[in-house]
Amino acid sequence: MLDKELRSMIGDVKDGRMDRRAFIQRLAAVGLTAPMANQILAIGGVAMAQSPNPYPPTKRGGGGPLKLLWWQGPTLLNPHFATGTKDQDGSRLFYEPLASWDVDGHLNPILAAEIPSIKNGGLSADAKTVTWKLKPGIKWHDGKPVTADDLVFNWEYASDAATACVSISTYSGLTVEKVDDLTIRIAFKEPTPFWANAFVGAYGCIIPKHLFAGYKGSKSREAPNNLKPVGTGPYKFVEFKPGDLVRGEINPDYHMANRPYFDTIEMKGGGDAVSAARAVIQTGEYDFAWNMQVEDEVLLRLEKGGKGKTLYAVGGDIEFIAINFTDPNTEVDGERSSMKTKHPTLSDPAVRKALALLVDRDSIKKAIYGRAGRTTANYLNGPDDFVSKNTKWEFSVEKAIALLEQAGWKAGADGIREKDGKKLKFVYQTSINGPRQKTQAIVKQACQKAGIDVELKSVVASVFFSSDVANPDTYSKFYADIEMFQIPMTQPDPGLHMRRYHSRNVATKENKWQGQNFPRWINKEFDAAIDAADVEIDPVKRAALYIKGNDLMWQDTVFIPVMHRLAVEASSNSLRPALSGWANQTDNIQDWYREG
Amino acid sequence: MSQYVLRRLMIAIPSLLGISLVLFVVLALAPGDPFSELATNPNVPPEVQAALRARFGLDDPIYLRYLHWLNAMLHGDWGFSFVSRMNVDTLILQRLPTTLYVIGSAQILALLIAIPVGVYAATKPYSLFDRIANTLAFVGFSLPTFFTGILFILIFSVTLDWLPFVYTTDIKATGIHYALEMIRQAIMPVAVLGLFQAASMTRFVRSAMLDVIRLDYVTTARAKGLGQAKVIVKHVMRNAMIPVVTLIALQLPAVFGGAIVTEQIFRIPGIGSLLISSILSNDTPVVMAVTFVFACLVVLFNLIADVLYGWLDPRISLR
């Protein structure tokens, strides 16, 4: 649609005839995320807006303690080793990136003096280099100045495979060079439309060169500062007990005016989500609790007359049912679900479409997810209104039956549909988790009505999500017909999220089932779209390619999206946390304050 | 006597070796993978995972890994946590004081309740006091700690708002206030654990007392005209305590195990909760170390019980 129209819109924003918000809303209407819209503007030559500042405190400190409850406490405090959000959240109290994603999906400068744009010379027109400038005068907690050398060191540290950083792929495909003491230039090998990845967000946190220089490569785990962070953040490190407690105190030299608001910060770990919700919402012992994986019913009950409430951050996390395109019951060369097989019944598109018609998202939302979920037909769900307009979901047992009848699947003597001696009998696996087993039951019931026999299987989460090669029950081996779990969208850019299902990423015995394309779905058109999107500079064309990818997955019924899941947090009534569906919960911790 | 202790020690060493071997093999064969979180993270290329596995020796055969572990252990190296990337002994030492404080207090509370109640109930069997004590004891050890724990939280934290239900090692107070806060936050977990222990111990004290109280020498003591209190304390209790002391010694490791649930409910950062979180994240070196600590405790307390027997009744050590 929008090539020309978009260009004129960008022009309008540039000349001030249209404001940014209106631009973003119009792009959201055609299925683009706010960060993408912002990047479109940036590449189109419009500087990224520095977010309006809703931060009212007029002086640093004086806010007393801030008490956070993470039911899985951080186990390490080096952002480059952080294996889960809990570790990233803990590290982020002390370490900072150049910029982070705010509530509206804007890039918000933290250590950077400004967000790179074509206008300020930060972005090159060919999308091959980005120049970041550090804010002058920033000091590490030990008083040493932060310089471009620190940034270059972080790139060297993380991209060295021997250091074994989890942030490696963020840093390995690029080079970073020092321009002057406060400026670096990132050079990409290929045009990189999503340039705001290195030094931004959770993996963008910067560690000091002077304390880690001796611990690059294979000596990385010996660094004493792995446990005693010295960063630039709003809070200085005081104490760390893995899995139990992280404690910090106000950084009096923090580089942002009037920040932070709280005098001390504490992140307590352990326990379970329900009692964490209770400690924040009901008794008010804590100010904020992370990741309330609790049934909405329970939260509503706690909220009645309580001292806190739940908050929702919209991200791109999706709970879905994946369909196996290969045969899990036939072994070829010692491998089940081999690429050399075809699923006997699910390879029929009519069967897959019928299954999609049998997932009653409305009931699942009502009975299970409540406020924490949104129904969707898309695999790719941007935090705001990222909805491909070309798709829609439907629940209809009648239509499913009609579809199956038409395709020749007739009910047998036992009521189960069959064709050519093959019966519609499926093993439906997922991890052990209350909401998942309830969803399984709802889907199974609808399938029964349509003459499909579903056998439910649930596997302990630590086994299901394991990468252990010897284990037959992992999601990536997918020795079942259909399976269900959640895939979190870890970045505001869909690139990583979509690339998983490229045909080169099929999970096989050969790659020890490390490939992320576990449905083993091969679609040349999808591959081409994803490959093109990876290097497409034109943001409009690029967005269209990802929407096309999503629609192809929908047309082929690779995934049956069950619920677009929101991040649920518990907060005391007076706390004003700055949450973003595009970032980790503590990513904007410097902007948190208390009201009244 | 010293020979007897030595002999017992010699038996303890191979049992510990055996236990460690079994633990290691079971853990190695158990499903689960410390790097599963990395596996679902598309940002982490498979090469990094493979490098990490190789670095931590996860791809070696089991016997090599066991020998490696044993050798390190003999050199005082408890291993290295995959998840925290720090030494296991540091992790355990960080947690141990809290565990000892809570479990020790609970055990003392249990003794303070069980001995007087058990003794008094035994001196007046089938009296009203005895019956009430018996009933309460039955109720006490029939209710699991996870149930009483949540019940206590609902009553004392949520409804009455008297006590905090999140145990914190980070109390911002000094001197007497610190001590008071420490006591305040330990009341619920100690009560839950202590009452549970007290219930079964009371029953045991009572029956041990009843066994002794009927013996002839007690009647003789009474016949000599000794006062009731003196007979009970000097003649009956001293003898009745022999099996009770052994029971307590043998039960202590079980208390550590039972405390895992309590630690989880009240978020007490003890070694029990360390064990749980390590199991959940498949942090095998930590799981191995903590379970081995438990195993050592069992063996140690068995040893202490053996020695106590020998000391209380010299005939045992001669055999």
CA torsion A361-A365-A368-A374 (nearest 10°) is: 110
Task: Tell me the whole-structure pTM to 2 decimals.
Answer: 0.81
Site of tokens 């959000």: A85
Q: How much is the pLDDT for A43?
A: 57
Best residue in B29, B35, B44, B87 for a mutation probing chain A (most A CBs within 10 Å): B44
Closest C-alpha to A204, from A291, A110, A307: A110
Contact call for residues A202 and A587 (beta carbons, < 8 A): yes
Nearest CA to CA, how far is B57 from chain A (Å)? Answer: 14
Alpha-carbon distance values, A121 to A26, A45, A75, A118, B112 (Å): 27, 10, 40, 5, 76
Token look-up 């015995």 returns: A509
State both tokens at A100.
């982070």
Answer whether B51 sits within 8 Å of A81, measured CB to CB: no
Tokens of A571: 């907060």
Q: Which pLDDT belongs to residue A467? A: 72
DSSP strand pairing (A422-423 vs A417-419): antiparallel
| Cα end-to-end distance, chain A, whole Å | 49
Residue from the list A162, A462, A500 with its beta carbon closest to the beta carbon of B32:
A462
Determine, for residues A242 and B265 on separate chains, whether the beta-carbon distance falls below 8 Å: no
Order of strands, sheet of A453-459, starting from the edge strand that comes earlier in the sequence: A373-374, A559-565, A318-323, A482-487, A425-431, A453-459
Q: What is the pLDDT of residue A30?
A: 64
Whether B204 and B118 have beta carbons less than 8 Å apart is answered as yes
Ramachandran bin of A338, using left for φ above 0, alpha for ψ from -120 to 50, beta for the remaining angles? beta
Of all residues in chain A, the percent with pLDDT exceeding 90 is: 51
Residue B61 Cα, gap to closest chain A Cα (Å): 13
Q: Do B45 and A270 touch (CB under 8 A)?
A: no
More confidently predicted of B201 and A84: B201
Residue B197 forms contact with A (CB below 8 Å): no
CA-based nearest distance A483→chain B, Å: 15
* A161-170, A438-447, B55-64, B226-235, range with the lowest pLDDT: B55-64
Confidence band for A523, pLDDT divided at 50, 70 and 90: very high
A434 or A135: which carries more pLDDT confidence?
Answer: A135
Indicate yes or no: CB of B269 within 8 angstroms of CB of A244: yes
Residue of B nearest to A497 (CA): B42
Cα(A150)–Cα(A206) distance, rounded to whole angstroms? 7
Phi, psi of A220 (to 5 degrees): -55, -35
Residue B284 pLDDT > 50: yes
Q: Provide the pLDDT confidence category of residue A149 given band limits of 50, 70 and 90.
A: very high
Say whether residue A510 is in contact with chain B using an 8 A CB cutoff.
no
Which residues lie below 8 Å from residue A15, measured CB to CB, with a gap of 6+?
Answer: none
Lowest mean pLDDT among A49-53, A176-180, A511-515: A49-53
pLDDT of residue A390: 84
Name the phi and psi angles at B72, rounded to 5.
Answer: -60, -40
A476 neighbourhood in chain B, CB within 8 Å: 39
The predicted-structure confidence for A368-377, as pLDDT tens digits, reads as follows 899 999 999 9
Which of A165, A241, A433 best probes binding to B when mutated, by most B CB atoms within 10 angstroms?
A241
Which residue is associated with the tokens 């109720």? Answer: B139
B111's CB contacts (< 8 A; 6+ apart) are B198, B201, B248
Residue A68 has pLDDT above 90, yes or no: yes
Chain A nearest C-alpha distance from B265 (Å): 6
Check: CB of residue A73 under 8 Å from CB of residue A268: yes
**Any A CB within 8 A of B39 CB:** yes
> Residue range A55-71: average pLDDT?
90
What pLDDT score was predicted for residue B291?
A: 87
* Residues found in chain A: 596
Q: Rounded distance, CA A311 to CA A43, Å? A: 33
Over residues A225-240, the mean pLDDT reads 93
Test B267 with A268 for CB contact under 8 angstroms: yes
Asked whether the bond before B189 is cis by omega within 30 degrees of 0, the reply is no
Lowest model confidence (mean pLDDT) among A53-57, A229-233, A260-264, A588-592? A53-57
Look at residue A451 and tell me whether its pLDDT is greater than 90.
yes
The per-residue pLDDT for B313 is 67
pLDDT band, residue A354 (cuts 50/70/90): very high
What is the structure's pLDDT at A134?
Answer: 95
Q: Give me the pLDDT at residue B224, please.
A: 86
Do residue B166 and residue A271 have CB atoms under 8 angstroms apart? yes
All residues of chain A having their beta carbon less than 8 Å from the beta carbon of residue B48 are: 161, 164-166, 168
Query: Is B41 within 8 Å of chain A by CB?
Result: yes
pLDDT (average), residues A97-102: 90
The more confidently predicted of residues A9 and A380 is: A380
| Count of beta carbons in the 10 Å neighbourhood of residue A73 | 27
Structure letter (DSSP) for residue A77: -
Q: What is the mean pLDDT of chain B?
A: 82
Mean local confidence (pLDDT), B278-302: 84
A126 within 8 A of A120, measured Cβ to Cβ: no
Using the Cβ of A406 and the Cβ atoms of chain B, whether some distance falls under 8 Å is answered with no
Average pLDDT for A18-30: 72
Name chain B contacts of A266, Cβ cutoff 8 Å: 168, 170
Find residues 484-503 of chain A whose CB sits inside 8 Å of chain B. Answer: 490, 496-497, 499-500
**Residue with the larger pLDDT of the pair A518 and A386:** A518
How high is the pLDDT of residue B113? 92
Confidence of residue A399 (pLDDT cuts 50, 70, 90): very high
Show residues of chain A in contact with B169, CB under 8 Å: 241, 244-245
Q: What is the mean pLDDT of residues A67-96?
A: 89
Q: Tell me the C-alpha distance between A593 and A288, whole Å.
A: 12
If DSSP codes are grouped into helix, strand and coil, which group holds residue A483? Answer: strand
Return phi, psi of residue B8, to 5°. -60, -40
Q: Would you give the distance in Å from CA B262 to the centre of its chain?
A: 11
Q: Is A429 within 8 Å of A483 (Cβ atoms)?
A: yes
| C-alpha to C-alpha distances, A266 to A233, A239, B143, B168, nearest whole angstrom | 14, 9, 35, 10
CA distance A201 to chain B (A): 13
Q: How far apart are CA B319 and CA A297, in angstroms?
A: 66
User: What average pLDDT does the structure give for chain A?
Assistant: 87
- Given a cut of 60, whether residue A520 has pLDDT beyond it is yes
Q: pLDDT value at position A1? A: 41
Cα dist. A452→A355, A410, A479 in Å? 9, 11, 19
Specify the pLDDT at position B303.
82
Strand A559-565 versus strand A235-241 pairing type: unpaired
Is residue B48 within 8 angstroms of chain A, CB to CB? yes
Give kind and range of the element (H or E) at residue A264. strand A264-269
Q: Are A514 and A460 in contact, with CB atoms under 8 Å apart?
A: no
Question: For residue A257, is pLDDT > 70?
Answer: yes
B4 within 8 A of B11, measured Cβ to Cβ: no
- Residue A595: burial class (beta carbons within 10 Å; 0-12, 13-18, 19+): exposed
B62 to chain A, any CB pair closer than 8 A? The answer is: no
Over the stretch B96-111, which tens digit does the pLDDT of each residue have? 888 888 888 988 999 8
pLDDT digits (tens, 9 = 90+) for A287-324: 999 988 888 888 999 998 778 999 998 888 899 999 99
Label residue A34 by pLDDT band (50, 70, 90).
low
Interface test with A, best of B37, B89, B159 (most A CBs within 10 A): B37
Q: Which residue of B has its CA nearest to A238?
A: B170
Query: B258, B273, B157: which is closest to B199 by C-alpha?
Result: B258
Total beta-carbon pairs less than 8 A apart between chain A and chain B: 158
Q: Give residue A140's pLDDT.
A: 96
**Mean pLDDT, residues B167-182:** 80
Burial A493-508 (b: 16+ CB within 10 A, else e): bbbbbbbebbbebbbb
pLDDT interval class at A385 (50, 70, 90): very low
**Residue B97 sits at the chain A interface (C-beta within 8 Å):** no
In this complex, the residue of B33, B47, B273 whose CB is nearest that of residue A161 is B47
Angle at B267 between CA B264 and CA B269, to 5 degrees: 95
Report the C-alpha gap between A591 and B10 in whole angstroms. Answer: 63
Per DSSP, what are the bridge partners of residue A335?
A332
B194 — contact with chain A (CB < 8 Å)? no
Nearest to A263 by CA among A403, A62, A549: A62
**Collapsing DSSP states into helix, strand and coil, what is residue A560?**
strand
Could you give the residue ranges of the DSSP H alpha helices within chain B? Answer: 2-29, 36-39, 46-55, 62-74, 88-123, 128-142, 145-152, 175-213, 216-223, 228-230, 238-266, 271-280, 284-312, 314-318
pLDDT at B128 over 70: yes
First to last CA, chain B: 11
* For A500, nearest residue in chain B (alpha carbons): B42
Alpha-carbon span B162 to B148, nearest angstrom: 17
Interface of A with B in 219-238 (CB under 8 A): 221, 226-227
Mutate to test the interface with A, among B27, B29, B33, B274 (most CBs of A within 10 A): B33
C-alpha B43/C-alpha B47 separation (Å) is 12
